[in-house]
Structure 1
Amino acid sequence: MTVDELRHLFNTLIIEPGRGHTDPLLWSIRRRRHQARAMTGHYARQAPIEP
């Protein structure tokens, strides 16, 4: 987990638990899924094109 992700989860779970967030861990899962898709896309664009 990154520092930003830990900070976000800490704020959501400890600092402001009553704000009505549905599930703080869903944010983390969604973020990691997005990062994986973005990495795949970046690598695909950088791959050499075969003739």
Structure 2
Amino acid sequence: MIRKPISGPKSKELLKVKEKYVPKGVFNTVPTFIKRGEGAVIEDVDGEIYY
């Protein structure tokens, strides 16, 4: 689970758009915007790597 706050500029901009157009709900809780993933490693739109 990703627990660090959004810090990158692309993620912050996408979060503004998401909050405007996507309704909040039980399954809409991940504030991370994934660019790609492989196995247990994911990369967000700002280039942050999560293991």
Structure number with higher helix proportion = 1
TM-score band, normalised by shorter chain:
0.3 to 0.5
TM-score computed with the length of structure 2 as normaliser: 0.39
Structure number with greater Rg is 1
